[in-house]
Amino acid sequence: MLFPTFDFAIFFAVAFTVNWLLNPYPTPWKISMTVMSYVFYGWVGWSYCLLLVATSATAHVGAVAITACRTERARRRALIGACAVLLGLLGWFKYYGFVSVNVDNLTHALGLGRAVPLVQVGLPIAISFFTFMAISYVVDVYRRQLEPARPIDVALYLSFFPHLLAGPIVRGHELLPQLRHRRDAYAIDYSRALWLILAGLFKKVVISSYVSTAIVTPVFTAPAQHSAPEALFGAWGYAVQIYCDFSGYTDIAIGLALLLGVRFPINFDAPYTARNLQEFWRRWHMTLSRWLRDYLYIPLGGNSGSEAKTVRNVLITMVLGGLWHGAAWTFVCWGAWHGIGQGVGHLRRRRRVARGLEPVASGPVRIWVQRVATFQFVCLGWVFFNASGMSNAFAVLARLFDGWGRPSPLVTPVLVLVVAGTIASQFVPTLQVARLQAAFSRQRAAVQVGLLSVALLGITTFGPPGVAPFIYYRF
Amino acid sequence: MVQQLESPAGTAENEPRGRAPWVSVLATCVSAFALWLVLFAPTLEHNALVSPVGTRRTVALDVLRPLAAASRVLQISRIVSETDALTGRTGNRLGDGSAPVRGPVRHPRRSPAGSTPTATTPPSIAHPTAADKLRVLIVGDSLGIDVGGPLQNDLTDTGVVSASLDGRESTGLTRPDYFDWPAELEADLQTFDPQVVVVMIGANDAQDFPGPPDVPFGTARWNAMYASRVASFMEIAQSGGARVVWVGMPAMANPTLSAAMTVIDSIDRQQAAARNPPVAYLSTTTLLGTARGGYSAFITDQAGQVVNVRTPDGTHLTAAGGEVVAQAVIGYMRSTWHVALP
């Protein structure tokens, strides 16, 4: 079920009412919210609900088994077993087709014949998100950071519909305690929730859709047809599109959860204001960055070893992070691009510190140069992220160099304004936004109703007819 | 435990905001939604009208008709229509929440339509040059876009072709009330004055014709009506003297949909052969499937490499799949029409 649809509006009205009516009764509340989350997930097809059940069962059994083990060795085995099942499910559904084609072509090229059966496996929506949440839960139990939860708690933790399809990737210690305690039915932070939902809808329905149609899709569909300025705005436009699409989804998810009395971690914090890649990843898809840091980068050794090992760990983490997004060489390249960039940045910072300088040079001009350079580096990576294949990515990049002097009818003043305005909006202090929310909450009910309906009308009027699925639904 | 959730500490979270009981929040949200519903009812009514025939459409229309009528009587709907007029929209607001539209990359018309030859004597297109490019128009639904993107790119890359793509997702010839392809094609012909038109439409057409009375898909009457629409569309495509390639639908992973595509392909093929001059029909069933025309997600190319040609939904084409069909179209133009493409 997509958030910006009529179906979801009706679904949420029912879910909201059930949520608060059953709020005083913990077990019925958990069961009802789990059932509603499965309805939400299975809206377009029930078959994949079985996968969600299997993932929840594996996480629960794994956590219980780890706790029941008496020796560290047995605990470790139980952890490896649970993670193997979870990663096995993810690998089968998400990566089997990609791996089998590449292995098959390799064995064929080596004269070893066709070695791997080719099977196209349907990709269940959101599998990457709930698998990562399940792994984090099992690992946290193994690390004794979390007690095993009841089966219904685990089921609801993994399936809770506001985060189910595209995150945020909420950790057990963030969500499970909230599921155990009653939420305050008389103190809903509704002005912030409604602001987030409307802002998310605006970003997704109006901005992301417009930029996609106006420049990104034409440029990436037929790069040969376009000029260098169009290719440039295609890359910048995609930076705006994916930010508005994904952060829009996250805003809506956080807002919906707030209306249900549940708080999620933030997932975006003005990422295009970052001065380097390390900062970018602290601001972009923050919950994935945290996950990769805590469950991959640090277990690999983090930055505790030599420089070479640190760079290696960064590279492995980012390449696997890229592969998490999709089974394609373009995502591997995107991850490697960021890994190399971060590795180089890490070495530079170490060199500066060794020379007695601050890790990152500061000063008003330098800060802006760093911001612009980081943004351009990120945009180059987005070309691979959005390309349909490696040749498509290189075709877009080639346009940046050889397409000058040609007419650029797609680079219109409105497009320039939208792209620049969206990036500039990330520099607006969050305090100003909070003040607007506070002002809204002080209005009379009738005024609030009027403002909300006008905002909805604006979004639906300026949005395109029909809304594309969120980009991150694919992952 | 949760103090760092949702907002960075020390910023927006510290700003005092009003909080409210859930019943008040529900009342505010439902009231705002109801007001929006009345304001937007005519557009929603239109969207319901053009949605697939069935219970959902009937219920939606029953709910929305009185609201839309009230909106019109109270002149509320003018807010939306005036905004549409102000922003240059047509007012043909399609979609049911799942149907993005990709518009064409339009280029100025190259030559006046009056100079085009008649349909029975297609002009020579054998030797396009950089100065006198071959004008190709590609139109289609979402599968048409899957093929049209690579085809447009490959043709443009030759340096002697000006290719334009008009792709519209979730469209077809069954529901002109949802999207009027004949009118769109006529507009495209006026704009691009193509010498070659490539069509790939049909993936969304296995649905009833809305009545009253509704004409169910799969009946003889449906076949006759669809054949008439395909013939009419081909006639429009050929009206400016352009040569037309009609690309058929491949087999689908869903057996029911695949069987429906066989019906549509059969009608397309018959109508293509019946035209004078004939429309070139290019089948994709073996090109993108098994040797017997069955569904396959993977094919082996001439170099012996396995290529994944279908997306996991079992319907659409991957970029590689689109490229396979694009090359087949270009190959056809080279071999049958003897177009000299570098």
Chain centroid to Cα B236, Å, comes to 17
Mind telling me how many Å the CA of A66 is from chain B's nearest CA? 24
**Quick one: average pLDDT of A275-298?**
94
- Given this model, what pLDDT does residue B16 score? 58
What is the bridge-based pairing of β-strands B196-200 and B280-282? Answer: unpaired
Q: For an interface test with A, which of B153, B166, B170 has the most A Cβ atoms less than 10 Å from its Cβ?
A: B153
**Quick one: average pLDDT of A435-453?**
78
Quote the CA–CA distance of A47 and B133 in Å, as a whole number: 51
**Quick one: average pLDDT of B297-305?**
84
> Residue holding tokens 């980012």?
A318
What are the tens digits of pLDDT across the range B185-223? 999 999 899 999 999 999 999 988 887 788 889 899 999
Q: Which amino acid is residue B118, in one-letter code?
A: T
> Residue holding tokens 């397409």?
A403
- Please say whether the beta carbons of A333 and A342 come within 8 A: no
pLDDT band at A288 (very low <50, low <70, confident <90, very high): very high
What are the tens digits of pLDDT across the range A37-79? 999 999 877 888 999 999 999 999 999 999 999 899 999 999 9
Other beta carbons within 10 angstroms of residue B234's beta carbon come to 21
Q: For an interface test with B, which of A208, A221, A386, A418 has the most B Cβ atoms less than 10 Å from its Cβ?
A: A221
Buried b (16+ CB within 10 A) or exposed e, A300-314: bebeeeeeeebbbbb
Pick the range with the lowest mean pLDDT from B7-11, B65-69, B149-153.
B7-11
- A296 or B52, which is more confident: A296
**Cβ within 8 Å, pair A466-B13:** no
> Residue holding tokens 């000299």?
B340
Quote the CA–CA distance of B16 and A470 in Å, as a whole number: 32
- Given this model, what pLDDT does residue A157 score? 96
Residues of chain B neighbouring A449 (CB-CB closer than 8 A): 28, 31-32, 35
Phi-psi region of A411 (alpha: psi -120 to 50; beta: other; left: phi over 0): beta
What is the bridge-based pairing of β-strands B298-300 and B280-282? Answer: unpaired
Find the radius of gyration of the CA atoms of chain B.
24
Q: Which of B2, B39, B148 is facing A453, going by the closest CB pair?
A: B39
- Given this model, what pLDDT does residue A272 score? 95
Q: Which of A277, A249, A242, A280 is nearest to A264 (CA)?
A: A249
Domain boundaries, chain B: 20-86, 113-335
Contacts of A25 (CB under 8 A, 6+ apart): none
**Cβ within 8 Å, pair B16-A254:** no
- Given this model, what pLDDT does residue A444 score? 76
Could you tell me the sign of the dihedral formed by the alpha carbons of A302, A303, A305, A311, in that order?
positive
Q: Which of A269, A256, A284 is nearest to A192 (CA)?
A: A256
- Please say whether the beta carbons of A399 and A230 come within 8 A: yes
pLDDT band at B74 (very low <50, low <70, confident <90, very high): confident
Chain A, 30 to 89: residues with Cβ < 8 Å from chain B are none
Chain centroid to Cα A197, Å, comes to 17
Secondary structure letter of residue A215 according to DSSP: I
Residues of chain B neighbouring A105 (CB-CB closer than 8 A): 305-306
**Quick one: average pLDDT of A16-22?**
95
Percentage with pLDDT > 90 across chain A:
56
**Quick one: average pLDDT of A290-297?**
94
CA distances in angstroms from B197 to A127, A274, B246, listed in the order given: 41, 48, 8
**Quick one: average pLDDT of A345-360?**
86
Q: Which of A264, A288, A272, A243 is nearest to A386 (CA)?
A: A243
- Given this model, what pLDDT does residue B181 score? 93
Mind telling me how many Å the CA of A190 is from chain B's nearest CA? 6
**Cβ within 8 Å, pair A460-B31:** no
Residue B265 has pLDDT above 90, yes or no: yes
> Residue holding tokens 């334009």?
B164
> Residue holding tokens 């604006």?
A458
pLDDT band at B89 (very low <50, low <70, confident <90, very high): low
Residue B245 has pLDDT above 90, yes or no: yes
> For residue B97, what is the nearest residue in chain A, using CA coordinates?
A466
Q: Chain-wide mean pLDDT for chain A?
A: 89
Residues of A annotated catalytic, as ranges: 325
Could you check whether the bond before residue B210 is cis, i.e. omega within 30 degrees of 0? no
Other beta carbons within 10 angstroms of residue A101's beta carbon come to 21
Cα pseudo-dihedral B286, B288, B293, B299, rounded to 10: 90
SS3 B341: coil
Q: Which of B11, B18, B152 is facing A442, going by the closest CB pair?
A: B18
Q: Which amino acid is residue B1, in one-letter code?
A: M
Q: Which of B21, B35, B83 is facing A461, going by the closest CB pair?
A: B83
Residue A303 has pLDDT above 80, yes or no: yes
**Quick one: average pLDDT of B80-90?**
64
Mind telling me how many Å the CA of B47 is from chain A's nearest CA? 9
**Quick one: average pLDDT of B37-46?**
80
Residue A110 has pLDDT above 60, yes or no: yes
Percentage with pLDDT > 90 across chain B:
41
> Residue holding tokens 């809204």?
A440
- Given this model, what pLDDT does residue A342 score? 92
CB pairs under 8 A between A and B: 230
Residue B92 has pLDDT above 50, yes or no: no
What are the tens digits of pLDDT across the range B322-333? 999 999 999 999
Other beta carbons within 10 angstroms of residue A358's beta carbon come to 9
pLDDT band at A224 (very low <50, low <70, confident <90, very high): confident
Does A438 reach chain B within 8 Å, measured CB to CB? Answer: yes
What are the tens digits of pLDDT across the range B153-195? 899 888 899 899 998 888 899 988 888 899 999 999 998 999 9
- Given this model, what pLDDT does residue B262 score? 94
- B47 or A325, which is more confident: A325
Mind telling me how many Å the CA of B41 is from chain A's nearest CA? 11
pLDDT band at B128 (very low <50, low <70, confident <90, very high): confident
**Quick one: average pLDDT of B314-322?**
92
**Quick one: average pLDDT of B104-121?**
41
What are the tens digits of pLDDT across the range A229-268? 999 999 999 999 999 999 999 999 999 999 999 999 989 9
The pTM score is: 0.82
- Please say whether the beta carbons of A60 and A141 come within 8 A: no
Mind telling me how many Å the CA of A22 is from chain B's nearest CA? 12
**Cβ within 8 Å, pair A222-B105:** yes
- Given this model, what pLDDT does residue B111 score? 41
Q: Which of A308, A257, A264 is nearest to A286 (CA)?
A: A264
Phi/psi at B317 (5° precision): -105, 145
pLDDT band at A465 (very low <50, low <70, confident <90, very high): low
Quote the CA–CA distance of B82 and B89 in Å, as a whole number: 10
What are the tens digits of pLDDT across the range B98-107? 333 344 444 4
**Quick one: average pLDDT of A180-205?**
87
- Given this model, what pLDDT does residue A440 score? 77
Quote the CA–CA distance of A419 and A219 in Å, as a whole number: 15
- Please say whether the beta carbons of A470 and A165 come within 8 A: yes
pLDDT band at A352 (very low <50, low <70, confident <90, very high): confident
pLDDT band at B108 (very low <50, low <70, confident <90, very high): very low
pLDDT band at B72 (very low <50, low <70, confident <90, very high): confident
Pick the range with the lowest mean pLDDT from A40-54, A236-250, B133-147, B244-258.
A40-54
> For residue B88, what is the nearest residue in chain A, using CA coordinates?
A462
E strand map for B150-193: 161-167
Quote the CA–CA distance of B167 and B148 in Å, as a whole number: 8
Quote the CA–CA distance of B24 and B31 in Å, as a whole number: 10
- How is domain B113-335 classified at the CATH fold level? Rossmann fold (3.40.50)
Residue B281: in which H helix or E strand, if any? strand B280-282
Q: For an interface test with A, which of B1, B11, B25, B317 has the most A Cβ atoms less than 10 Å from its Cβ?
A: B25
Does A186 reach chain B within 8 Å, measured CB to CB? Answer: yes
What are the tens digits of pLDDT across the range A390-425? 989 999 999 888 878 778 888 999 999 999 999 999
Domain boundaries, chain A: 6-180
- Given this model, what pLDDT does residue B152 score? 92
Token reading at A153: 């708690």
**Cβ within 8 Å, pair A466-B99:** yes
Q: Which of A423-427, B86-90, B229-233 has the highest mean pLDDT?
A: B229-233
> Residue holding tokens 């056809």?
B332
